[in-house]
Amino acid sequence: MTDRYCVFGHPIGHSKSPAIHAAFAEQTGEAIEYTAIEAPRDDFAGAWRAFAAAGGRGANVTVPFKEAAFRLCDALSDRAKRARAVNTLIRDEAGRTRGDNTDGAGLVADLARQAVPLASARVLVLGAGGAVRGVLAPLLAAEPAGLHVANRTADKACTLAADFADLGQVSGGGFETVTGPFDLVINGTSASLGGELPPLPDDLFAPGATAYDMMYGAEPTVFLRWAEAHGARCLDGLGMLVGQAAESFFLWRGVRPDVTPVLAALRRAL
């Protein structure tokens, strides 16, 4: 019997999730069907209920539905509660909907795979939206020396830092509060989509530092081009995308796929 899964979004035609999960299924021998569904902006819950009623076992959720997915769940993982957003839905044997958030796990796994140390590192995260909220708990669990959240709207960064202060050394403020050097700088803003760069000081990076942009593409983002010019090692978010998908696959199937060949194939296709 083939189990059905999907990814919900609006729009969703660009999604790489069907290709990623098809590759995972082939690699692991799991019998799944995975499709992309464009849900109505005003009725995500209805789209999920219809999919579940037709036998759907689980789903990934992307913009703009992660908060709506959070609200409809019968049970939530601790990391979903922290993120206040859900990117993975699981329908259990009792028909209940459980929600999880694998974004942070995907990021941390990609950093580990690429030998970027987090323990005792000085970390800067740019942005204070949902993408950043979803990764702070896993980053802090790695016990960096300190983590600073910087955002154009300082109050949002400060509030976010306060929400996670029980997990480690975390602070927040406007971009003007950024004073280097940092060992790892993660761009979680949407500035890359518009070809823009947050206002950052030239002495941002410590020797041997890494710059990581959650966005990805065939060419480096503006942030990564700037970071390279300032001496940082540069990584994009394609590995995070595949990593969060692998974590979702594990939650559904109990099997952890090897992301390396899937990531390599996606990179060649960009």
Domain identity same for 108 and 95? no
Long-range contacts of 83-88 (CB under 8 A, 24+ apart): 83/130, 83/133, 83/134, 83/137, 84/130, 84/133, 85/130, 85/133, 85/134, 86/61, 87/60, 87/61, 87/62, 87/134, 87/244, 87/248, 88/58, 88/59, 88/60, 88/61, 88/247, 88/248, 88/251
pTM: 0.95
Domain identity same for 17 and 129? no
Q: What is the DSSP code (8-state) at residue 133?
A: H
Domain identity same for 179 and 154? yes
Domain identity same for 110 and 211? yes
State both tokens at 270: 């960009």
Domain identity same for 121 and 211? yes
Domain identity same for 191 and 231? yes
Domain identity same for 26 and 96? yes
Check whether 193 has a pLDDT greater than 80: no
Q: How many domains are there within the chain?
A: 2
**Could you list the residue range(s) of the whole structural domain that residue 45 is in?**
3-101+240-269
Domain identity same for 83 and 115? no
Query: Is 46 annotated in some ligand binding site?
Result: no
Domain identity same for 46 and 57? yes
pLDDT, tens digit, 9 for 90 and up, residues 39-54: 999 999 999 999 999 9
Query: Is 151 annotated in some ligand binding site?
Result: yes
% of the chain with per-residue pLDDT over 90: 94
pLDDT, tens digit, 9 for 90 and up, residues 227-236: 999 999 999 9
Residue 232 CA to residue 183 CA, distance in Å, equals: 9
- Residues with active-site annotation: 66
Residue 180 CA to residue 164 CA, distance in Å, equals: 22
Contact between 37 and 51 (Cβ < 8 Å): yes
Query: Is 55 annotated in some ligand binding site?
Result: no
